[in-house]
Amino acid sequence: MEYVQERIATLHDYDGTNPAAPTDRAAVVVPMTEREHASLAAEHVFSTLASVDPEQVYVPLRAGPGEVAAVTEWIDGFDFDAEVLWCNAPRVEEHLRERDLVAEAGKGRDVWLALGVAARHDYVVVHDADATSYGAEQVPKLLAPLAGDHSFAKGYYARVEDGRLYGRLFRLFVRPLLRALDETVDHPVIDYLLSFRYALAGEFAATSAVARSLRAQPGWGLEIGTLGDAYDAAGFAGSAQVDLGTHEHDHRSVGGPSGLGDMCEAVGGALFRVLDDQGVAVEYDRLRDAYTTAADALVDQYAADARFNGLTYDAASEREQVREYVRGVADPGEDRRLPAWDRCGVAPETIRGLSRDAIDERE
């Protein structure tokens, strides 16, 4: 147990805390795909969420037409007020195309659509549907800082499961990359990103004003991109991170479609887009070498930590992953972010209505 503070407020769980929080004024956003529908993990998350009783739950759903009715019926069976937003409904996609808001389908776009609707409420919490370790205290923990002096809060946790360290993309790519940047770039945004103990955590909470100010990477860069906008909207003083304990959810392979190797490119692109927003110039060739050096040093530290705790640890495999992830250290290319809701010219209620109509047609 420790009580170290970072440059942002770090709120620790010393003994199973479940703080008072404005859950009755909050919307909870839980993105889902049809693959997660009725899974044991999603069943656990939604059953537990029922005991939290937030003001509203929004489920941005990415699913085929033949799956929508079944997913909606399943969600309606839980004891909370819920609304499904069918993110890839033909009418929704057509409406976005007409306004030049075209983005690849992915978690980022789904969460963005839900944020617009959820910002009707005073506070918004976002978390995933695949955490088998999910507990009823997580939503209050994320909301509690917002009832005080903060406008943005992010969760952090340990990724230890089956006697192994997980969280590989963060441990082996994001953290050493930020360390390398800290050695070569002098800008407070690097300090801000380094303050978050698990920058790729999908769990965060924000006031409605901050939620409306967030742009969204349509794909895997959502979490880092969100932190970049939180830096502008909340800053060091308005940001907090909250101890959510130990986290367990699905794991991805390094290779193959949607593997960690592909994800690192999207995450790296989002990170370098944040730096570009702040006017930070990056020497990518130099940074690749600095990243590899920083990652190798961290592998030695992880090996010592694993040995200390009796965990299985394959240092050679981790170093191979570092060599795979180095391709994520590259120019971010075209900016494909979706705009903030307070600037996009689309009415959230229109998206909500189009989704409802499309779902009604499938029932």
Both tokens of 66, joined, read 């033949």
Rounded Cα distance, 333 and 331, in Å: 6
Rounded Cα distance, 109 and 128, in Å: 14
Query: What's the Cα-to-Cα distance from 116 to each of 29, 120, 296, rounded to whole Å?
Result: 11, 8, 41
Element (H, E) at 142: helix 138-143
Rounded Cα distance, 219 and 270, in Å: 10
Pairing of strands 9-11, 239-246: parallel
Q: Which of 50, 298, 87 is nearest to 174 (CA)?
A: 298
Q: Enumerate the domain spans of the chain.
A: 7-159+198-251+339-363, 160-196+253-332
7-159+198-251+339-363 architecture in CATH?
A: Alpha-Beta Complex (3.90)
Q: Which of 303, 321, 319 is nearest to 311 (CA)?
A: 303
At residue 219, the pLDDT reads 81
At residue 218, the pLDDT reads 82
Both tokens of 257, joined, read 């479609």
At residue 250, the pLDDT reads 64
Pairing of strands 56-62, 160-161: unpaired
Strands (E), 152-202: 152-158, 160-161, 164-165
Do residues 266 and 219 lie in contact, with contact meaning Cβ atoms separated by under 8 Å?
yes
At residue 64, the pLDDT reads 94
At residue 254, the pLDDT reads 63
Per-residue pLDDT of the chain (363 residues; tens, 9 = 90+): 789 999 999 999 999 898 999 999 999 999 999 888 889 999 999 999 999 999 999 999 999 999 999 999 999 999 999 999 999 999 999 999 999 988 777 899 999 999 999 999 999 999 999 888 999 999 999 999 999 999 999 999 999 989 999 999 999 999 999 999 999 899 999 999 999 999 999 999 999 999 999 999 888 899 999 999 999 999 999 999 999 999 876 655 565 556 677 889 999 999 999 999 999 999 999 999 999 999 999 999 999 999 999 999 999 999 999 999 999 999 999 999 999 999 988 999 999 999 999 999 876
Element (H, E) at 275: helix 260-277
101-126 per-residue burial string, b: 16 or more CB within 10 A, e: under 16 = bebeebbbbbbbbbbbbbbbbbbbbb
Both tokens of 246, joined, read 């130990």
Query: What's the Cα-to-Cα distance from 362 to each of 76, 203, 227, rounded to whole Å?
Result: 15, 31, 37
Rounded Cα distance, 28 and 111, in Å: 11
Query: Count H helices, E strands: the chain?
Result: 15, 11
At residue 262, the pLDDT reads 85
